[in-house]
Amino acid sequence: MTDLITAAQMRGIELAAITSGVVTGLELMERAGRGVVAAIFEEWPEFAQSGGRAVVLCGPGNNGGDGFVIARLLREWGWEVEVCLWGDPARLPPDAKANYERWCTFGAVHPLGEPVFEAAELVVDALFGTGLTRKLEGLEKTALALKGKSAAGFPKVVAVDVPSGLSADSGRYVGETDVDACISADLTVSFHRAKTGHYLADGPAACGRLVIEDIGLDAFCVPEEAVCLAGPNVERLQKRGDAHKFSHGHAFVLCGGVGHGGAARLAARGALRIGAGLVTLGCPPAAILENACQLNAVMLARVADGAGLTEILEDSRINALCVGPGLGSRAETRGLVRAVLLARRASVVDADGLSAFATAPADLFEVLHEACVLTPHAGEFARLFPDIAEHLSAGCTKVDAVREAAARAGSVVLLKGADTVIATPEGRACINAAAYECAAPWLATAGAGDVLAGFITGLLARGFAPYEAAQTAAWLHVDCARTFGAGLISEDLPEVLPSVLRRLHG
Asked whether the CA dihedral 182, 183, 188, 190 is positive or negative, the reply is negative
125 is in an annotated binding site: yes
483 is in an annotated binding site: no
449 is in an annotated binding site: yes
**Is 118 in contact with 54 (CB distance < 8 Å)?**
no
245 is in an annotated binding site: no
**Is 76 in contact with 16 (CB distance < 8 Å)?**
no
Strands annotated E in 235-312: 250-254, 278-283, 299-302
d(CA 437, CA 453): 24
CA distances from 16 to 19, 349, 362, 485, 492 (A): 5, 43, 44, 45, 49
138 is in an annotated binding site: no
260 is in an annotated binding site: no
**Is 248 in contact with 459 (CB distance < 8 Å)?**
no
* Best CA proximity match to 88, nearest among 127, 55, 48, 59: 59
398 is in an annotated binding site: no
142 is in an annotated binding site: no
For residue 167, is it left (φ>0), alpha (ψ between -120 and 50) or beta? beta
161 is in an annotated binding site: yes
282 is in an annotated binding site: no
131 is in an annotated binding site: yes
132 is in an annotated binding site: yes
416 is in an annotated binding site: yes
Asked whether the CA dihedral 283, 288, 291, 295 is positive or negative, the reply is positive
d(CA 130, CA 107): 27
d(CA 266, CA 451): 5
66 is in an annotated binding site: yes
98 is in an annotated binding site: no
328 is in an annotated binding site: no
CA distances from 92 to 25, 111, 115, 469 (A): 14, 14, 20, 48
432 is in an annotated binding site: no
Q: How many CB atoms lie within 10 A of CB 393?
A: 10
- Could you list the residues known to form a binding site, using ranges: 62-66, 125, 129-135, 161, 164, 263, 326, 377, 416-420, 449-450
- Could you list the residues known to form a binding site for K(+), using ranges: 63, 125, 164
- Could you list the residues known to form a binding site for (6S)-NADPHX, using ranges: 62-66, 129-135, 161, 263, 326, 377, 450
- Could you list the residues known to form a binding site for AMP, using ranges: 416-420, 449
